[in-house]
């Protein structure tokens, strides 16, 4: 199981990019943290989600 | 009768220490904060920190003051058409004349962020557009993992004050706002809710300065 924004999800083995696309995220409005580290944008395609990973996906909305 | 002479640096410092205690004020007065984006969030964050007697502010924006800004941004009529960094600096100096202000009238991007933000330990993300927020956040957290970043997302509309909150995303990254309110769904940006979110940002920055993580 991978914990994503607090919820356990059965997505181990997927790449981060495949998961984000499946969930319909807008990629240029995101910041993704995995196990308390920022994931650089260029690594989304080769970062494999693994059992026990804890992810926080911040999806920004406009306004300021 | 109006005061015509500007109080000395020492007397202003003494007044701040009287309000905040000497130990706390020494930490605030030694800190420098970069404010990236000087709209509804950034102008209010800068005013809150300048009122606290922050040591230095680095004010960064590429925009000029527009009439549609005045519903929530801390600029006067006399500031219209002026670059926001210098217009805000002048407002801050009206009550904190010895504040050390650095201004950059420039649009931040992945190319210039490493050089422009290298001297600022505390960084406030106060942009308007979601893509810009994401760009700055990714860039700062990747290039400067040792710095502290306090950002914002979701503060459009009115009401529901309690849903604006501060979340710890990483040990050095905090995000304020409700996370979901948008201009499309919740109506425009209005002073009270934008100021609430800005106050969350300024309050977290102050806490990091005084207490550390």
Cβ of B126 and A64 within 8 Å?
A: yes
Q: What is the DSSP secondary structure assignment for residue A52, as one 8-state letter?
A: T
Q: How far is CA A50 from CA A14, A64, B22, in A?
A: 8, 36, 50
Closest residue to A63, CB basis, from B137, B145, B183: B183
Closest chain A CA to residue B194: A64
Domains annotated for chain A, with CATH where assigned, are 2-59 (3.10.20.30)
Name which of A23-27, B39-43, B169-173, B185-189 the model is least confident about.
B185-189
Q: Kindly list the domain boundaries of chain B, sorted by start residue.
A: 21-211
CATH 3.40.50.720 describes domain B21-211: yes
Closest chain A CA to residue B40: A64
How close, in Å, is residue A28 to chain B by CA atoms? 6
Q: How many CB atoms lie within 10 A of CB A45?
A: 10
Cβ of B42 and A64 within 8 Å?
A: yes
Q: Which helix (H) or strand (E) holds B209?
A: helix B191-211
pLDDT tens track for A34-52: 999 999 999 999 999 999 9
Cβ of A63 and B127 within 8 Å?
A: no
**What percentage of residues in chain A have a pLDDT greater than 70?**
100
Pairing label, strands B32-36, A54-59: unpaired
Q: How many CB atoms lie within 10 A of CB B185?
A: 10
Q: Hey, which residues 1-40 in chain A have their CB within 8 Å of chain B? A: 26, 28-31, 33, 36-38, 40
The reported pLDDT for the residue numbered A56 is 97
The reported pLDDT for the residue numbered A9 is 97
The reported pLDDT for the residue numbered B1 is 60
Q: What is the mean pLDDT of chain B?
A: 96
Closest chain A CA to residue B191: A64
* Residue A5, C-beta contacts closer than 8 angstroms, at least 6 positions apart: A55, A56, A57
How close, in Å, is residue A5 to chain B by CA atoms? 10
Answer whether residue B179 shows pLDDT above 70.
Answer: yes
pLDDT tens track for B40-50: 999 999 999 99
- Tell me the residues of B at the A interface, defined by beta carbons under 8 Å apart: 37, 39-42, 126-131, 133-135, 137-138, 141-142, 145, 152-156, 169-171, 173, 175, 179-183, 189, 194
Answer whether residue B202 shows pLDDT above 90.
Answer: yes
Answer whether residue B213 shows pLDDT above 70.
Answer: no
**What percentage of residues in chain B have a pLDDT greater than 90?**
94
The reported pLDDT for the residue numbered B212 is 81
**What percentage of residues in chain B have a pLDDT greater than 70?**
99
How close, in Å, is residue A51 to chain B by CA atoms? 20
Answer whether residue B187 shows pLDDT above 90.
Answer: no
Q: What is the ipTM of this complex?
A: 0.96
How close, in Å, is residue A10 to chain B by CA atoms? 22
Closest chain B CA to residue A6: B169
Closest chain B CA to residue A61: B130
How close, in Å, is residue A23 to chain B by CA atoms? 17
Answer whether residue B106 shows pLDDT above 90.
Answer: yes
B115 alpha carbon, distance to own chain's centre = 20
Mean pLDDT of A9-33: 97
Mean pLDDT of B165-186: 95
């Amino acid at each position: 199981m991978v914990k994503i924004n607090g919820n356990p999800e059965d997505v181990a083995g997927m790449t981060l990019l495949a998961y984000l696309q499946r969930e319909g995220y807008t990629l240029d409005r995101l910041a993704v943290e995995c196990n308390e580290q920022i994931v650089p944008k260029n690594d989304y395609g080769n970062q494999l989600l693994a059992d026990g990973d804890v992810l926080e996906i911040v999806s920004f909305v406009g306004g300021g | 009768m109006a005061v015509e002479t500007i109080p000395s640096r020492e007397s202003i410092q003494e007044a701040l220490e009287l309000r905040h205690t000497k130990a706390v004020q020494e930490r605030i007065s030694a800190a420098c904060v970069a404010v990236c984006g000087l709209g509804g969030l950034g102008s209010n964050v800068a005013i809150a920190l300048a009122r606290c007697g922050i040591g230095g502010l680095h004010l960064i924006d590429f925009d000029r003051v527009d009439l549609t800004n005045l519903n929530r941004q801390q600029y006067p009529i006399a500031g219209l058409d002026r670059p926001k960094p210098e217009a805000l600096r002048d407002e801050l100096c009206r009550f904190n004349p010895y504040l050390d202000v650095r201004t950059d009238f420039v649009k931040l991007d992945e190319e210039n962020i490493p050089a422009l933000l290298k001297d600022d330990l505390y960084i406030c993300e106060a942009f308007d557009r979601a893509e810009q927020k994401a760009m700055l956040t990714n860039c700062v957290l990747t290039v400067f993992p040792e710095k502290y970043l306090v950002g914002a997302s979701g503060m459009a509309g009115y009401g529901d004050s309690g849903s604006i909150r501060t979340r710890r995303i990483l040990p050095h990254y905090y995000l304020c706002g409700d996370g979901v309110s948008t201009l499309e769904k919740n109506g425009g940006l209005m002073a009270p809710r934008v100021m609430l979110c800005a106050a969350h940002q300024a309050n977290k920055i102050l806490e990091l300065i005084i207490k550390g993580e």
